[in-house]
Structure 1
Amino acid sequence: MNTTTLPLKTAPMLSTRLLFCLAATWLVWGSTYLAIKVALVSLPPFLQMGSRFLVAGALLATWMRWRGAPWPGRRQWLHALVIGGLMLGGGMGGTATAEQTVGSGLVVAFIAVMPLMIAGLNLLWGEKPSRLESLGIAFGLVGVLLLTQGQGFGASPTGLVAISVACASWAVGSVLSQRVWPLAPGAMGFASEMLAGGVVLMGLSLLHGEALPERIEPQALWAWAYLVAFGSLVAFNAYMVLLAEASAGLASSYSFVNPVIAMLLGVMLAGEQISGHEWLAAGVVLVGVVLLLIRRARSAAR
């Protein structure tokens, strides 16, 4: 009897391009929170973030125009102002404000709950979570409650309020950009968001009376340049590639890798103190995020 040998199915390997993009979103974004803290030595929070996004947005917009991309229309600029104001003005401005009094590792552990907040907001559009997603949301909320009782946030009510506002603003902006006020297509949309958000942040800087110090420390300037080049341009574009060419679960995997990277860098390079209670709380948050991403990956595979 003749038999036919069937080839074994193997899981497709990630291309070098996608591996590079994953490394960028995991490592670069994970390190930006420490860079923000270093830049705060000389650059106040809103001024630091506003100038960062204005420069990055101008560079990206110039590049896209050179490649022939059209400018956003008037309505798209209005959308960029709203979304940029929420995600960058409230989100990133609040993050930098929180890092003035709270360690970068704890801040990003709190931010890890973002996918859970977005899933909750989607309930307003009738998108009900599955049992697995509900369990993930529950874990995330418990983890955040534990985190707020730790020594970092417990000693800084201002930092807790700032990071809570940051998370809420980023989540609301993310949902509205997907469902109500879309940006211009492709990278030009992100450039317009950075430009508009940068303007909002500079306005907040003026309202808070921020000013450049007489002398800017070299490490603060290098950290700011790193945030522009790598945090805003390299990692952001890498994320766009992942969204286009990889599964949603893989593209969103940064949300549970970044806290680990940020906490380790904060301890090793900045001497931040993180208690066992706070490590446990961060772990509970990450379990919730992983459960949510597993559900999304299963849905995408169907």
Structure 2
Amino acid sequence: MTQNRAPILFSLFALYIIWGSTYFAIRIGVEYWPPFMMAGVRFLLAGALMFGWLKWRKEPNPDRRQIAGAALLGFLMPAVGNGLVTMAETRVSSGVAALVVATVPLFTTLFSRMLGFPTRLREWSALALGFCGIVLLNFGANLGASPLGALLLILACAGWALGSALSKRVPQPKGMMSSAVMMMCAGVELLCGSALMGERLVAIPPLAGWLAMLYLAMFGSIIAYTAYLYLLAHVRPSLATSYAYVNPVIAVLLGMSLLGEHVGTVEWAGMGVIVSAVVLLAWRR
């Protein structure tokens, strides 16, 4: 392995497996938490823990321009991108959410092209192949999404993809401080949205609700989100967002094993096409 290939492979593994399982964790969490409140507490907790650790290591504070950039990216990616997915999962299953989020690479490629990043023919081919896999999964799935839930998921994908494309152009803190500030800003933005929507915690969540929250904060936010920002800084946007083609596979498998969802022949075929698209997207001669 080259010196920088190992962290890239580890980051891709974290996104493919951990983020694939967060759809299941969100589905458990929204049974006990209001959606925006859960997402806000998740990101505020994760960002504060990471910020405290970085300050313990004597990392410098970001300047105003970097904080403003982190607030913008935090609004587009964790707040809009993840917040709307969390709200959508009160109406649709985790598998449906993961399937729709697979359109993120398509949005990201379009936004990146608008911002001046060239797109190779191989990347277009991989995205088309991945989209065909999603179509197969939808034909074989027995999961129904409400129109409002579908709209929330599409808006979430667009927000996340725009933030991903802008991440190379917007000033932001250096290194892991970027993740910490971005998540803290997103947490505050989501909690403000929760207050404006009148969300209320009617009862203290049971152990399952707290475990879902902690898993989302520690693994889904601190580890996987930091890995995503690392990939955005070191690889092409289409590869960084290729997790969206693997996450549905993980989400559907978890739903099948833990929620009793049925997966037929067409679904398995769709998963095979999706994995093939990821291989094509990441392939180097």
Contact kept? 1:113, 1:285, Cα under 8 Å? no
CA deviation after TM superposition for structure 1 residue 139, in Å: 3.3
The one-letter amino acid of 2:217's match is V
CA deviation after TM superposition for structure 1 residue 197, in Å: 0.9
Contact kept? 2:104, 2:241, Cα under 8 Å? no
What does residue 203 of structure 2 align with? 214
* Pairing 1:269–2:258 present: yes
Distance in 2, Cα, partners of 1:64 & 1:194: 14
The partner residue of 2:29 within 31, 39, 54 is 39
What does residue 187 of structure 1 align with? 176
What does residue 113 of structure 2 align with? 123
What does residue 224 of structure 2 align with? 235
The one-letter amino acid of 1:224's match is M
What does residue 30 of structure 1 align with? 20
What does residue 194 of structure 2 align with? 205
What does residue 55 of structure 1 align with? 45
Contact kept? 2:127, 2:277, Cα under 8 Å? yes
In structure 2, the residue corresponding to 1:38 is in which secondary structure? helix
Any residues of structure 2 matched to 1:38-187 within 5 Å, and which? 38-144=28-134, 154-179=144-169, 181-187=170-176
Distance in 2, Cα, partners of 1:204 & 1:213: 18
Distance in 1, Cα, partners of 2:21 & 2:86: 14
What does residue 3 of structure 1 align with? none
Identity of aligned residues (%): 41
TM-score normalised according to structure 2 size: 0.85
Which protein is bigger by CA-based radius of gyration? 1
| Range with greater deviation from structure 2 (195-204 or 133-142) | 133-142
CA deviation after TM superposition for structure 1 residue 71, in Å: 1.5
Distance in 2, Cα, partners of 1:291 & 1:20: 18
The one-letter amino acid of 1:102's match is V
CA deviation after TM superposition for structure 1 residue 195, in Å: 0.9
Any residues of structure 2 matched to 1:242-261 within 5 Å, and which? 254-261=243-250
CA deviation after TM superposition for structure 1 residue 24, in Å: 3.2
CA deviation after TM superposition for structure 1 residue 168, in Å: 0.4
The one-letter amino acid of 1:103's match is S
| Range with greater deviation from structure 2 (31-40 or 108-117) | 108-117
Contact kept? 1:87, 1:173, Cα under 8 Å? yes
CA deviation after TM superposition for structure 1 residue 117, in Å: 1.9
Distance in 2, Cα, partners of 1:125 & 1:62: 34
Listed as ranges, the gaps of 5+ residues in structure 2 are none
Distance in 1, Cα, partners of 2:138 & 2:258: 24
Shift in CA distance, 287/114, structure 1 to aligned 2, threshold 3 Å: farther
- How big is each residue's C-alpha offset from its partner over 1:26-74, in whole Å with a ceiling of 9 and x where there is no partner? 3222211111111111011111100100011111111111212122211
Distance in 2, Cα, partners of 1:240 & 1:106: 25
Number of aligned residues: 285
Shift in CA distance, 283/117, structure 1 to aligned 2, threshold 3 Å: farther
Shift in CA distance, 15/86, structure 1 to aligned 2, threshold 3 Å: closer
